[in-house]
């Protein structure tokens, strides 16, 4: 998974059926210090209440997302990135607080 | 997934079978501030988008999962129109 900061929501009313009812957020990947690193991307959010400015964990792999949705192998889920956690704290090194 | 702006269309008479019948559009990938973010690419359209539309796309293998047909050899598919993007959280 990658660490990313939530930049905000993406509003899309006309979209592929698989995205119906899902929150769509634009997120900026960050490194362990919270600095932006890499291209921003979109991720869906089913469970968390992540909002603007939150740091989150993003699963960026389609098969994993399908399994997260509890769908069988044959199900066709065109979703590549999903929020799988809201990060409270990132500590680098032997227990140093960030 | 990522944001994109449809900037044109692509017509290809000769193409892999899986692609026949698929509508191909030319898309400029965008970042969260809707600025160009990578080279222009061709993408299959699943929502009847057209030039000028702000859309979002899914890439790599998941792109082919956006289509009804069994396996379509695509790695970029437009899967939704974007009404608005709020990206203030990064500032």
Q: Does A46 touch chain B (CB under 8 A)?
A: no
pLDDT of residue B88: 84
Residues B40/B46, Cβ–Cβ less than 8 Å: no
Confidence category of residue A95, pLDDT binned at 50, 70, 90: low
**Which tens digit of pLDDT belongs to each residue from A11-60?**
999 999 999 999 999 999 999 999 999 999 999 998 788 999 999 999 99
Domains of chain B, CATH where assigned = 2-13+21-81 (2.40.50.220)
CB contacts, 8 Å: A79 with chain B = 1, 58, 62
Please list the residues that pair with B30 across neighbouring strands: B3, B36
- Answer yes or no: is A62 within a domain: no
User: Where does residue B1 rank: exposed (0-12), middle (13-18), buried (19+ CB within 10 A)?
Assistant: buried
Name the residue among B33, B35, B38, B36 with its Cα closest to residue B91: B33
- Answer yes or no: is A40 within a domain: yes
Q: Does A5 touch chain B (CB under 8 A)?
A: yes
- Answer yes or no: is A7 within a domain: yes
Question: From CA A80, how far away is CA A59, in angstroms rounded?
Answer: 8
Of A6, A54, A78, the CB nearest to B66: A78
CB contacts, 8 Å: B32 with chain A = 7-8, 26, 28, 40
Total domains present in chain A = 1
CB contacts, 8 Å: A68 with chain B = none
- Answer yes or no: is A20 within a domain: yes
pTM of this prediction exceeds 0.95:
no
Using the structure block, give the residue that is written with the tokens 């119906």.
A20
- Answer yes or no: is A1 within a domain: yes
- Answer yes or no: is A13 within a domain: yes
Using the structure block, give the residue that is written with the tokens 């079978």.
B17
Please name the residues between 48 and 67 in chain A that touch chain B, using a CB distance below 8 Å: 51-54, 62
Using the structure block, give the residue that is written with the tokens 């066709």.
A76
ipTM (interface pTM): 0.90
Read off the CATH number of the domain in which A21 is found.
2.40.50.220
- Answer yes or no: is A74 within a domain: no
Cβ B31–A40 below 8 Å, yes or no? yes
- Answer yes or no: is A76 within a domain: no
**Residue A96: pLDDT above 90?**
no
Q: Tell me the residue range of the domain where A1 lies.
A: 1-44
């Amino acid at each position: 998974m990658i660490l990313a900061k939530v930049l905000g929501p993406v509003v899309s009313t006309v979209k592929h059926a698989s995205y119906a009812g899902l929150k769509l957020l634009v997120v900026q990947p960050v490194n362990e210090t919270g600095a932006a690193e890499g291209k921003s991307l979109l991720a869906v959010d089913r469970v968390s209440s992540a909002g603007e400015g939150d740091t989150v964990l993003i699963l960026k792999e389609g098969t994993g997302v399908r399994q997260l949705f509890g769908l069988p192998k044959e199900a066709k889920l065109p979703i590549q990135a999903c929020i799988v956690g809201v990060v409270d704290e990132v500590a680098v090194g032997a227990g140093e607080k960030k | 997934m990522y944001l994109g702006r449809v900037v044109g269309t692509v017509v290809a008479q000769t193409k892999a079978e899986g692609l026949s019948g698929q509508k191909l559009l030319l898309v400029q990938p965008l970042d969260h501030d809707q600025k160009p973010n990578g080279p222009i690419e061709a993408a299959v359209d699943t929502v009847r988008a057209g030039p000028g539309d702000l859309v979002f796309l899914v890439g790599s293998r998941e792109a082919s999962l956006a289509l009804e047909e069994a396996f379509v050899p695509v790695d970029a598919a437009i899967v939704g129109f974007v009404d608005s993007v709020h990206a203030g959280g990064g500032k």
